[in-house]
Structure 1
Amino acid sequence: MHPTPRISPSLLAADFSRLAEEVRAVEAAGADWLHLDIMDGHFVPNISFGPGLIKALRQHTKMPFDVHLMIAPAEPYLEAFAQAGADIISVHPEAGPHLHRSLQTIRALGKKCGVVLNPATPVSSIENVLDLVDLIMVMTVNPGFGGQSFIMSQLPKIAALRRMIDATGRDIALEIDGGVTAATAPHCLVAGADTLVAGTAVFGAGDYASAIATLKQAGKTPCQT
């Protein structure tokens, strides 16, 4: 049995022709955060949206905006995303030469800050910034596209990060992004995650409330092999 996880539906999987309605719908369905993937076509092979869309959606929900910057360099755009209404801003260690300074900048803007680890990015890359982060996100797919299959080899990384977080005594969220479904979520929670990003698993479901409830119950569900 594990604590009920936060659920952060990924807007990338929503119906882009009616985004405001989709945001209100997942909030009413029980979502805790809204996950916003920012992609530049350079750091990852896709382009999504920018701070303008975040600003437009901010008036439609009270959910915290969980903003994942898949852009490089990230630092020149931190202020724009903060001003647009982001609550948590997460960056990749590879997205600029000075991760520590980027995190300091996010904090100075009054926002919570996170670091994102790609499947090939080692846990050691964030050992020296744990005092600054509010969130660590583990990518369980290679970033850039939705609907990919969960990479099971990332589970030991999640467990290692849980041990690191617990050793700090700090309240750092451990978020999983990529291929999260009712089948893979229990594995994530057993490994130590407490926050799940779900795109297709929520927005691709006919009943958002049922999909979110299923993910929230994942900590009480046996892992499937």
Structure 2
Amino acid sequence: MNRDVVKRAVDVVGAVVALAVLLPVLLAVAALVVATMGRPVLFRQVRVGRAERAFTVVKFRTMVPGGGLDTDGDRLTAVGRFLRRTSLDELPTLWNVLLGHMSLVGPRPLLTHYLDRYTPHQARRHEVRPGITGLAQVEGRNLLAWEDKLDRDVWYVDHRSFALDARILVRTVAVVVRRTGITAEGEATMSEFMGVPRERPRPDRDGVAPV
């Protein structure tokens, strides 16, 4: 059977089970966000998935609106910091997995305006569905320089297997428990990826990744 078909089946089963088991946690976090930050509960942002197609990722909100605050660090609330430290803000992305936008394991989905900043080698990260967790997340997370993170993404594309996915999932648990690599030095999360501007043909990115 095709490996991608099997991986997709594992993603769907894994996401359904995780959402069912974690439903009380999801409801508790949603209530906490409403109580401390108000509505909306979810943060939505367009990211890039497989084949460079855009989709909307959903997470629990961790920041207040701008309102004159200059940086993400200023907008990040105490509850938001807790959600990020514990990775609880990522739980709604299980819905993206069910929709077929994402996988449980793969390169993290990044912003659309980064597309023209990748080298051809770095752009290969989009040959697979992005993941809730990935190789870069268990080997340093935001402590890694952008070039190192993207190199790990491409390495994953070239060496992906069910055994590798299982190891990454197990290591993810340890990373979350230890709360390592959450922020880069001097940043609320990670500095913007500037890359090397370049021009190349771009496919239509208005749709979403196929299920």
Q: TM-score range by the shorter chain?
A: under 0.3
Please identify the structure whose Cα radius of gyration is greater. 2
TM-score by length of 1: 0.26
